[in-house]
Chain A
Amino acid sequence: MAADFVIEGLKATIEGKEILKGINLQMKGGEIHAIMGPNGTGKSTLASALMGHPKYEVTAGTAVLEGEDLLEMAVDERARAGLFLAMQYPSEISGVTNSDFLRSAINSRREEGSEISLIRFIRQMEAKMKELEMNPEFLHRYLNEGFSGGEKKRNEILQMMMLDPKIVILDEIDSGLDIDALKIVAEGVNSMRSPERGFLVITHYQRLLNYIKPDFVHVMMQGRIVKSGGPELAERLEAEGYEWVKEELGIEDETVGQEA
């Protein structure tokens, strides 16, 4: 069954302050949606609220994946239901090797007694690392510890490739990547495109969207999706910035907390 993902009326607060003010978004398997928008407009908040970050409180709305409301689930259950978030700022965890971590993540999706064999796991991991042009030593490094910005991003994509999710949210996966790395990461994402999988790509730059071609582009301001369109919308934003959108909609300050 193709991944159907429907977000309706999603509102979320952080420390009592409302950041998301009613997000509506529909995605189907195979589709790529891009979310753009100026800084501080709630893009990462949307990603975190969907994943279930403990700092955010969802106060209204649903996010239904294949008939199940993710918002009713614990973080790990959401992941096992098929949601994956490549984070803007991945955590560093000392003492936990990349391979131990990923093996636990894979085994969390398997029944007790049918865990992935070490050899099979290493083989898979090495193959994916090769695709991403990652040095195999990253297998044994502590999770994200001391990784450069770009290495962390590649590591996020590696996890995505290993975990085979249904809905992938990429939060500024392009930030910190050099031009070659951007291509490699984009190829990794493209290799995962399938009718079974949907992507929500948060980015500031058209450049990424040249590699990962979106079907839909949405603009976020003040904690809402204020405009949606096709790929041409991203191109216009790249060329002209956000001023025209604000003028069109009568928005003076686009950041969260400012009312239109």
Chain B
Amino acid sequence: MTTQTILPVDAQRLSELSQSSGEPGWLKDSRLQALELAAELELPKLEKTRIDRWNVNNYGGYKASKPLAQLSEAPASITALIKDQEEGSLIIQQNSGVIYTRLAPELAAQGVIFTDLQTAVKEHGELVQRYLHKAVLPNEHSIAALHAALWNGGVFLYVPKNVVIETPLQAVLLTDDAEAAFVPHILVVADTNSSVTYVDNYVSDKAEAGLHNGAVEVFVGAGAKVRYATVHQLGVDTTDVTYRRAVVENDGTIEWIVGEMNYGDTASDTKSVLKGNGSSSDAKVIAVGSGSQKLNYTTQAQHFGKNTPSDMITRAVMRDAASSIINGITKIEKGATRADGQQTEKVLMLSPKARGDANPILLIDEDDVTAGHAASVGQVNYEQVYYLMSRGISRHDAETLIIYGFLAPVVSQIPLEGLRNQLQSLVERKLGQ
């Protein structure tokens, strides 16, 4: 059945908006084309997930956000995330627009660009145009098309050749007004032999239903290294659909760390395209589902280059009546000799009503490769609970140890201590209620 995409805005209005925010002509055209595509395209096909029944039409409209005069004025809902950030590099988006941007001067001096994407299209138009929508294509499906038509705020991070940044750059993206469209686009470009870590948090603070339609594009230049960490902790009110793509050149490295700690329905797809020889990808996804959440998590690695290793791990704990479909897709193209694609998906279910489904898929068109997958869906092992209890530990504490133990081998590998602790406490929050 074909469902007509409900367009949240018409071409006339979109065109006016683009013009009034002073966007260059190419961007206005790109938005209008995407809107046309959106009308023709269907929703993404998600394995065993009826996304058409989700709340995916609550876009709201574009509303200008008021910039902060200083960081201390930031909304209370995000103060914990930005404390001690006065000296750091930080971008805050609230609803449709960025309200705070700071780039550490020593990075600015090295030519690093870190600004909201709406500003970047004006100040670094050529650079942005070269990469925007080249990894997440607007013609993939109606959600990607609508994203390209409507994106707002956003982050642009450019790291010049040979620049190595130790301290993570951060962004916080907050939706607290259901009437305002929340469609941030994150674009990261790491030039040859550069190195950078970017960490962001998605937060909501509102009661009415809303949608986050997000796209992330990361371009990893030759020999460059990008560590991309993202924590989604959107409330039950917000449906989250996020597409992340990295394109990696020769000997480049992408490292994904994804914390899926939302309370609402979530579809996320994180993909590395290993274009160059010797490029590599590592993806870690930690997820906790609760309530009646419907979840669909996909990790993908597509190998074009020779000698390309990829590893993806998803570990998910499902409680209450949460239901999750977890897909891993390793695709090795012809010619990608000596590629090595590995993936593991594991789901731990804590209640008889929870659902978990792990689907590992290997698609291999080249002979000279190695690939492997492991998937498991299970409950807390009662032998293990018995063993712990036989040492005096209560049933509740025994189960808690086992659940955290299930996530620990992945969490403990997260190289950023602050992020590790944050994820740990988000897991505790989701499991503790």
Contact = CB atoms under 8 A, between A and B. Distances in A.
B390 A75 contact: yes
Contacts of B392: 76, 79-80, 105, 108-109, 163
B395 A101 contact: no
Interface string A29-58: 000000000000000000000011110000
A101 B392 CA distance: 11
Contacts, number: 84
Contact of B390 (A51, A94, A102): A51
SS of B interface (majority): helix
Interface stretch (A85-93, A115-123, A125-133): A85-93
Given A54-B382, A91-B383, A96 B390 contact: no
A104 B397 contact: yes
A100 interface: yes
A168 to B, nearest CB: 12
Contacts of B387: 87, 90-91, 93
A111 B395 CA distance: 17
A59 B392 CA distance: 24
B411 to A, nearest CB: 9
Contacts of B398: 76
How big is chain A's contact interface, by range? 20 to 34
B389 A76 contact: yes
A233 B393 CA distance: 38
Given A93-B384, A96-B402, A96-B408, A85 B397 contact: no
Contacts of A52: 386, 389-390
B87 to A, nearest CB: 32
A236 B401 CA distance: 46
A96 to B, nearest CB: 4
B391 interface: yes
A16 interface: no
6 smallest beta-carbon distances between A and B, as pairs:
A95-B405, A95-B408, A79-B392, A91-B387, A96-B405, A105-B391
Interface of B: 381-384, 386-395, 397-398, 401-402, 404-409
25 contacts: A52-B386, A52-B389, A53-B386, A76-B392, A87-B387, A87-B390, A91-B383, A91-B386, A93-B387, A93-B402, A93-B405, A96-B388, A96-B404, A100-B401, A101-B391, A102-B391, A104-B388, A104-B393, A104-B397, A105-B391, A105-B392, A108-B393, A108-B397, A109-B392, A159-B391
Interface of A: 51-54, 74-76, 78-80, 84-85, 87, 90-91, 93-96, 100-102, 104-105, 108-109, 142, 159, 163
